[in-house]
Structure 1
Amino acid sequence: MSLPGFLPEGCWFALAGADYVGLSWMNAFPSDPRLLETGLTGVVRSHRRRGIATALKVHAIDFARRRGAERIVTRNEENNPMYDLNLMLGFRPGPAMCEYEKHLSHP
């Protein structure tokens, strides 16, 4: 993977037998070594609500602590079930983000 800040050692998969059912990874910010970001945590639909995402997030938090990070940021839409999981794990909402769009076919 070639994402800026992607940490290969901060990438984990959840397996059910030989099947990949979950994923979580961390990104670093070279400008602030005390800050890490959960780039993505996801679980395939058939394996949701089994604690897999929670386990992956807890593992990521532990990884961040061992690495010496002081803060972790993550992002998700407020109607996504991951929002409640993030709150349960101690994440606090930050400022909202606005998304803008410009149609180039119109002057």
Structure 2
Amino acid sequence: MEQLGLPLLGRLEGPATAPSQLVCIAQTYREAVRLSWRLRRIHFATQRQLAAEAGLYAPHVSDYLAADDKPSRRSLPAEHIPAFESFVGHTLISQWLAARARLTVLEEIQATKAAA
């Protein structure tokens, strides 16, 4: 019996850098998180999958991504940004934070590398 050779599966790289034009769209942190989710690499991924793979509490994820900004809504905690970005496939949130901190281009590149 001859064994069939299977091609190696493609490897997904770590989170990519988001275009700066997209980073500028978000006015608030919550908008940056929602935009990041809308631009996720795997468009059919669900919030439940995000919670499972990023180590988030599933009921809180719907708060992080809710369209309204009611005061009762939770925001994505800072310690979960790297896992969230890894899941969505880009570093838009980190780039948004760096832009708000008014870091130099070199500092922003270093922050993006560190987030990857």
Q: TM-score when scaled to structure 1?
A: 0.27
Q: TM-score when scaled to structure 2?
A: 0.26
Q: Report which of the two has the higher share of helix.
A: 2
Q: Report which of the two has the higher share of strand.
A: 1
Greater relative contact order: 1 or 2 (C-alpha under 8 angstroms, separation 6 or more)?
2
